[in-house]
Structure 1
Amino acid sequence: MKQKGFLLLLFIGLIVLAACGTGEDSQEEQSTDNVSSQYWDEIKEAGEIVVGTSGTLYPTSFYNDEEKKELTGYDVEIMKEIANRLDLELSFETMGIDTMFASLKNGRVDLIINDIEVTEERKEQFSFSDPYKYSYTTMIVREEDHSGIDSLEDLEGKKAGGGATTVFSQIAEHYGAEVVTYGNATNDTYLRDVDNGRTDTVINDYYLQSLALEAFPEFNIVLHPDLRFHPTEQAIVMPEGSDTLTEKVNEVLNEMREDGTLTELSEQFFGGKDASKQPEEEVVEIEGLEL
């Protein structure tokens, strides 16, 4: 009798433990679901999405008037279209690239868009949309001697202008260059310093560099004719775990790709070129660069 009673109590105990275990699993799943949807739920309830961008990066995010009243650019117009299709009001917070990621983490902005490259290190901390731009990396050098740079290895000992935490600065440092950092500076500041010898190069995106050169013909600088490296994908950055928000943004981006809106906006801001598609040029991958 005692043995039967013990077995009965043991059986009941196992049932209770199993029930408790199932409850904990359900709570964990529910908690995960809440985290993945809370960002979108809060944005939808507010009826507004707040976006971080620089406002100084031509032609993706810039002011088209001296009074800085109207923000435009490829990235900005993409974001305007996304907000419109999601039936949300839109406001921008302008800031330097080094501030954007911190602002996203502390909730000052809901997402950031500023020609930001998708990297493995960033994917560990943030969620990314599908790419809306494909490109590769080039460098601006002085026209008369290409700043003494014939290969990527020649960057050793040179000075490269850039933001402190950008991928382009990491590339410069990877090859032994000294990075001269700036705040939220406009393109003319970077280009002028290469022209006057304060720096030797600016490493950056092909499309952005090409148009920057066209905008400032007074500087004796060129895109390096022989160096095309580090293919890139640019995407919208959102808080880590914001699955529902990411899905909503991706749905709209896919619609914009299919109906030709991304191509139209790209051709408008990139001199008739379609940056929403993979480039056809041969581009060198950089070995040993961990991003």
Structure 2
Amino acid sequence: MGFRDENNEIVGYDVDLAKEVASRMGVELKLQPIDWNAKEQELNTGKIDCIWNGFTMTPEREKVILFTEPYLKNAQVVVVRGDSGYATLADLAGKTVGLQAGSSASDALDGAVEFKASLKRVVEFKDNLTALMDLEIKGVDAVVMDLMVANDNINRSGKNYVILDESLAPENYGIGFRKNDAALMNKVQETLDAMAADGTIAPIAVKWFGADISIIGK
């Protein structure tokens, strides 16, 4: 959705969408990496003007954040090493699971009460990439993360990771704004709707995911 490439440039599906939206709106786009744990604070203090990076819409977040309509469907999934022998959530009983601190993976795990209770330990990491690196060296036995992010990382890295068939929670991605920024949110939504209608979004989705998986206007 958004990551640094080999040239240290920030790229990704969300980045390409944001660039096109900003261009059409006639505004300058500044890509600002943040501490995901402090995302609402960064937004509400004005350090950023929207949160646009695989941001899951939840009832709790919708109480304090103004979201666009969903633009992608997602799920929280469990990633394991291909040689681990784990095939189901039940196989991870007594094992250690990692996840990104402050992410919807944490919420999904909290919601999967029986699965969480079966685990030996839950380890929080700064980001998903660090969690996956720890999985590779067997520091954790599995990582809970976004399906989109998991698929992208597996495809790009070529690492021997496997996504379990059982997911923890279906969800939607949205773009988050301050509650009093309805005009800005509506303009971004209108621009995305226009991009979907004129066929701009489809090739961006195909570029990053191999198929037009956008749900805008569908």
With the shorter chain as reference, the TM-score category is 0.7 to 0.9
Q: 1:232 and 2:205 equivalent?
A: no
How far did residue 108 of structure 1 move? 0.8
SS in 2 for 1:181: strand
Moved more, 153-162 or 81-90: 153-162
Note if contact 1:132-1:262 (Cα within 8 Å) is conserved in structure 2: no
Kindly provide the amino acid, as one letter, of the partner of residue 124 in structure 1: K
* Residue of structure 2 equivalent to 1:161: 98
* Residue of structure 1 equivalent to 2:154: 213
How far did residue 248 of structure 1 move? 0.8
1:99-248 pair list within 5 angstroms: 99-147=38-86, 150-151=88-89, 155-173=92-110, 174=113, 175-176=115-116, 177=119, 178-183=121-126, 185=127, 187=129, 189-217=130-158, 219-224=159-164, 226-248=165-187
| Bigger CA radius of gyration | 1
Q: 1:264 and 2:207 equivalent?
A: no
**TM-score, normalization: structure 2?**
0.86
**Higher RCO (Cα < 8 Å, 6 or more apart):** 2
Q: What fraction of aligned residue pairs are identical, expressed as a percent?
A: 28
Note if contact 1:142-1:220 (Cα within 8 Å) is conserved in structure 2: yes
Q: Kindly report the root-mean-square deviation, in angstroms, between the aligned alpha carbons of the 2 structures.
A: 2.1
Note if contact 1:169-1:179 (Cα within 8 Å) is conserved in structure 2: no
Kindly provide the amino acid, as one letter, of the partner of residue 194 in structure 1: L
Q: For 1:146-165, what per-residue CA distance to the aligned partner results, in whole angstroms no more than 9, with x for missing partners?
A: 44x523x5555432222221
1:17-56 pair list within 5 angstroms: none
How far did residue 234 of structure 1 move? 0.5
Q: Aligned in 2, Cα 1:249/1:64: closer, same or farther, shift over 3 Å? A: same
SS in 2 for 1:88: coil
The count of aligned residue pairs is: 210
Note if contact 1:85-1:252 (Cα within 8 Å) is conserved in structure 2: yes
Q: Aligned in 2, Cα 1:130/1:146: closer, same or farther, shift over 3 Å? A: farther
How far did residue 186 of structure 1 move? 6.0
Q: 1:91 and 2:37 equivalent?
A: no
